[in-house]
Chain A
Amino acid sequence: MFRNNYDSDALTFSPQGRIFQVEYAQEAVKQGSVVVGIVSKTHAVLAALKRNAEELSSYQKKVIEIDAHYGIALAGLASDARVLSNFMQQQSLSSRLTYDRPIALAEITHRLSIRAQKSTQQHGRRPYGVGLLIAGIDTTGPHLFEFQPSGVTQEMVACAMGARSQMARTYLERHVDEFEACGKDELIKHALRALKESLSQDKELTVDNTSVGISGEDEAFILLDGQSVVPWLNATFENREGGEESMEVDS
């Protein structure tokens, strides 16, 4: 068989200059369900498609509030994301405690990348198998950062990652010029439409599988989950057939 001699740890380069363990970790991100993030001049928004392991189980959390001013969306190994979100929450709290200052998004992203890079260079560790979108607002305005298992972080105007995210990315690229001037409502609609683009034919965005996170100027990060996304789904996809059924509630 074709055995790969250079993928048994994250320390060894292949002769082509690749570190396979890191690339495999990036595959884990591609397996995760899709997440989308967009920033405008005033707001930053995250939208995510939640998955349930089986019909009878609950849905995996995709958007996590880290501090009052920002949150993350994850694609990949949820348990790795939990470790990283815990780290980010501690760092954010420590900034609030010692300086009474919300941590800058560039700063927390930087600290995260330092932490993640370590596991691509140290013996006996594996890279984090999760990609994150970090979105929120700080003293320098709204920001969206993309984090990858390799420790690479980039500031983005809009970003999508996870399974079938290419469709969402195409949508974002098509509308990229509109984002900057968008208000909160328009930005959420764009994010939900981008999310819908990447769904397979037989799938719909429903109350159960959609998560949205928003933060803006003088607005704390809000996580819209379950019933609170209904108005946004209705506003975004006004004339969709069969959509009503999944949103019915017992009274």
Chain B
Amino acid sequence: MNHLPQAWGRPRDDVYGAYDASHFQMSGPTQHSSRPIVTGTSVVAVKFKDGVVIAADNLASYGSLARFTDVKRLRTFNSKSVLGFGGDVSDMQYLDRLLNSLSVRENYSTSIDDSGKSDLDAHNLHRYLSKVMYKRRSDFNPLWNHILVAGLGEKDAPFLASVDLLGTTFSSPTLATGFGAHLAQPILRRQVPDEAASKELSQEKAVELIRECMKVLFYRDARSMDKYSIAVISKSGVDLKEDEKLENQSWAFAEGIRGYGTQVN
């Protein structure tokens, strides 16, 4: 024992060596994310006459490596809305925790409806997320995601909107993120060119259309997978299936592709 009270009860330096205090060094350079690391690819969604269909595959890639094959990229919120996340998976998980705490706060707050559920609908959720995303981009520390928010908005009308890592928002009867914006969106728009067409679209047709898009994406997007999640949101609630498999694949078209792969000419 020595006469320094702060040393009492601690391992003695002369026996164990000086304590390595570098763990306590909290200050280092501030680090911001500058690129996504583990990523999810496209999310596709379409509005139909009394709801929304949304889908995303279950793959999280590490660069070009298909690293995790059972990552669920669709998430329900208060059993009223569904979010689809494209982009960085760890940022998706951060947002997931953020939304869990929002959900708890909402359901304990006084703004609940007759069924005892929070009245925070898809529209409110989308506005909240856009503020979160824009705040983070303004801090030069963006959450590297492109998110689709699907659900029922004001007066239970089908609602579909997107927000990206810059906080940019966009709304349309059909939406797709990532590669899907190039490969699936044209297919979706051919079937559902405008709001009026989506009001005519039946649930069966919408689901079929989304499944078709998932198939085309699997054919042509090298960061995609044939296992996917699909959710239908309507007045009767959320029907989320997280273990779907692509059916009736036909790779016959691959024969005709020239210019890369094994054939040279």
A residues bordering B, Cβ < 8 Å?
97-101, 103-104, 106-107, 110, 138-140
Determine, out of B36-44, B119-127, B142-150, B238-246, the stretch whose residues face the partner at the interface: B119-127
In chain B, positions 88-124 with a C-beta closer than 8 Å to chain A are 109-111, 113-114, 119-120, 123-124
B-side contacts of A98, CB under 8 Å:
127-128, 131
Q: How far is the CA of A97 from the CA of B127 in the complex (A)?
A: 8
Interface residue from B110, B113, B120, B128 paired with A110 (Cβ < 8 Å) = B110
Top 8 A-B pairs, shortest CB-CB distance: A104-B111, A106-B110, A100-B127, A99-B124, A107-B110, A107-B111, A101-B124, A139-B119
A-B contacts, 22 of them at CB < 8 A, read A98-B127, A99-B120, A99-B124, A99-B127, A99-B128, A100-B124, A101-B119, A101-B120, A101-B124, A101-B127, A103-B111, A104-B110, A104-B111, A106-B110, A106-B111, A107-B109, A107-B110, A110-B110, A139-B111, A139-B113, A140-B113, A140-B114
A-side contacts of B131, CB under 8 Å:
97-98
User: Which residue on chain B has the smallest CB distance to residue A103?
Assistant: B111
Q: How far is the CA of A110 from the CA of B108 in the complex (A)?
A: 12
B-side contacts of A110, CB under 8 Å:
110
B123 touches A100 (CB 8 A): yes
Q: How far is the CA of A189 from the CA of B74 in the complex (A)?
A: 54
Q: Tally inter-chain residue pairs, CB-CB below 8 A.
A: 32
Q: How far is the CA of A211 from the CA of B124 in the complex (A)?
A: 34
The smallest C-beta distance from A144 to any residue of chain B, in angstroms, reads 15
Q: How far is the CA of A97 from the CA of B131 in the complex (A)?
A: 9
Q: How far is the CA of A100 from the CA of B110 in the complex (A)?
A: 17
B-side contacts of A138, CB under 8 Å:
111
User: Which residue on chain A has the smallest CB distance to residue B102?
Assistant: A99
A-side contacts of B109, CB under 8 Å:
107
Q: How far is the CA of A103 from the CA of B113 in the complex (A)?
A: 13
A-side contacts of B114, CB under 8 Å:
140
The smallest C-beta distance from A94 to any residue of chain B, in angstroms, reads 11
Q: How far is the CA of A98 from the CA of B102 in the complex (A)?
A: 12
A-side contacts of B123, CB under 8 Å:
100
The smallest C-beta distance from B78 to any residue of chain A, in angstroms, reads 13
Q: How far is the CA of A97 from the CA of B113 in the complex (A)?
A: 21
B-side contacts of A103, CB under 8 Å:
111
The smallest C-beta distance from B83 to any residue of chain A, in angstroms, reads 15
Apart from the given pairs A97-B131, A103-B111, A140-B119, 7 other A-B contacts in the complex at a CB distance below 8 Å: A99-B120, A99-B124, A104-B110, A107-B109, A107-B111, A138-B111, A140-B114
User: Which residue on chain B has the smallest CB distance to residue A101?
Assistant: B124
The smallest C-beta distance from B134 to any residue of chain A, in angstroms, reads 11
The smallest C-beta distance from A62 to any residue of chain B, in angstroms, reads 27
User: Which residue on chain A has the smallest CB distance to residue B132?
Assistant: A98
Q: Which of B110, B114, B119, B131 has the most CB of A within 10 A?
A: B110
User: Which residue on chain A has the smallest CB distance to residue B106?
Assistant: A99
Q: How far is the CA of A27 from the CA of B127 in the complex (A)?
A: 44
User: Which residue on chain B has the smallest CB distance to residue A106?
Assistant: B110
Q: How far is the CA of A103 from the CA of B114 in the complex (A)?
A: 16
Q: How far is the CA of A97 from the CA of B114 in the complex (A)?
A: 25
Q: How far is the CA of A100 from the CA of B160 in the complex (A)?
A: 16
B-side contacts of A101, CB under 8 Å:
119-120, 124, 127
Q: Which of A97, A101, A107, A140 has the most CB of B within 10 A?
A: A101
The smallest C-beta distance from B154 to any residue of chain A, in angstroms, reads 9
